[in-house]
Structure 1
Amino acid sequence: MTVVGDVAVYRAELVVHRPSGPSIDLGGVVTYSPRRAVRWVRTRAEQVAQQLAVPSGTGALDWLGDQVAFGRAVYGLMAGNPVTLTVVDAEGCAYALVARPGGGTVGAHGTGTPQGREAAWLAA
């Protein structure tokens, strides 16, 4: 876990891994709140599932509606375990949503550790 002073830092991001070609960073957040990091993953997972028309009964949609799983993910993240969810589209692109301890850097478009409560970045 990355610690700034005595405060833990968490990072959440969405990266698309294409079957051919480089990966694409779709943005993320660096925050002092593990709950915020997991909520960011959950929100983005819902958006990805809607945009890709993910069928009901898949792992992504089941996890979105499970409050107990959300709580476990938050406590797991606090314990140093990453939270990961991958959704694969029809073309084989894997949308990897990850929340993990640490946040010294925030990708190609980010600025480092959070200023105030959190820092976010979006790919251009």
Structure 2
Amino acid sequence: MVTTNDTHALPPPARNAGYWCEATAHTSAGRTVWLNSRPTSSPRTALRWFRSRVEDVTDQLDWPYAQPGRHWLTDEAEHDRARTTLAQGEPYVLTLHDDTTRYVLSARPTGTAR
């Protein structure tokens, strides 16, 4: 299952980045694990980061749970929506999950020059 526009933030973004991207895992036991983060300069580079992280997550999931992420990787209309959402100053969030863990990937404008 994939859901979008769920919000979550961990460390504050770097000051001169246009967008802050991050990935976290949330276990059913209530533990949050930071997986990756990075500043990017544009919606396009944020989406590039997203693609790479979605590939990483789906590679770790069993087949049925990986399918929504694999679909997202080929969904050009959703990629356009993500870029537009970010360009309009809104966060974009993608959530993937299996039985025990929810993976949250997010990108948000930092409020600095893009």
- TM-score of the aligned structures, taking structure 2 as reference length: 0.73
Is 1:93 aligned with 2:101? yes
Q: Distance in 2 between matches of 1:88 and 1:61?
A: 13
Q: Write the letter of the residue equivalent to 2:68.
A: G
Aligned residues: 99
Between the aligned residues of both structures, percent identity stands at: 37
Trace 1:7-22 onto structure 2 (pairs within 5 A): 9-22=18-31
Which segments of 5 or more consecutive residues in structure 2 lack a partner in the other structure?
Answer: 1-12
Counterparts of 2:111 and 2:102, CA distance in 1: 23
> Highest CA radius of gyration, 1 or 2?
1
Alpha-carbon distance in structure 1 between the residues aligned to 2:111 and 2:26: 21
Aligned AA (1:50): D
* Deviation beyond 4 Å, 4+ runs, structure 1: none
Distance of aligned partners of 1:102 and 1:54 in 2 relative to their CA distance in 1, 3 Å threshold: farther
Within 2, Cα distance between the matches of 1:103 and 1:51? 33
1:25 to 34, 38, 42: 34
Structure 1 unaligned segments of length 5 or more: list them.
Answer: 105-124
Higher RCO, 1 or 2 (CA under 8 Å, sep at least 6)?
A: 2
SS in 2 for 1:55: helix
The verdict on how the C-alpha distance between 1:58 and 1:103 changes in structure 2, with shifts beyond 3 A counting, is: farther
